[in-house]
Amino acid sequence: MVEHQYLFIDFEFTMPEKSAKYRGFFPEIIEVGIVAVRNNQIYDTFSSYVTPVCYPILSERCKSFLNISQEQVDTGMSFAELVQKFEDITSDSKKNTVVTWGNMDMKVLRNNCQKGGFSFPIKGQEIDLSMEYKRFFGDQNQTGLWKAVEEYGKEGVGKHHRALDDALTTYHIFNLVEKDKKYLKQHEPTTIGDRVDFSKLFNKNFA
């Protein structure tokens, strides 16, 4: 049994056309990317297209924006299989921490589970890395995933809006931010209390 596992997750979702037939629309997961990290090492990666249930025909806007074809999602895994995948990948670790860029991924997963009658398959802490990044750098607005990595002078992994590439890029930024946090902690300015032993000073004055 593994003590602690980090899961860096990214989903791509369906997008509606501006049309009456999409009334009541909600986004469904159509691509998943997972990076499982144990002991600071990538233990496993997983990528798959997912077949949407309620709105199985992709809008032209969705296909164009994400560069995903109808054939790719038609031959993807079912949502039930995706739920099972998460149950399998979290079953042999005592603690799981999910890291995503933004809060939409977990919101959509929860909503898709609710709509499909599935229990939410991931138990553990959830970190929205975009908010951590915003707080750490004091930004007023949330920064996009690939803009954030470019601000570090780095490049994203693979192609933007490919689920596994975005999950790997999220892992990449997580490591950069954690490294900066440790650096700042090690180089915090000393206070006057750190430099002067007041107990010795008082003992000397009042002896």
CA–CA gap between residue 179 and residue 152 (Å, rounded): 12
The catalytic residues are 12, 161
Helix (H) or strand (E) holding 6: strand 2-13
CB 94 within 8 A of CB 125: no
Q: Using DSSP bridges, classify how beta strands 125-128 and 93-100 pair: parallel, antiparallel or unpaired.
A: parallel
CB 165 within 8 A of CB 33: yes
Bridge partners (DSSP) listed for residue 10: 33
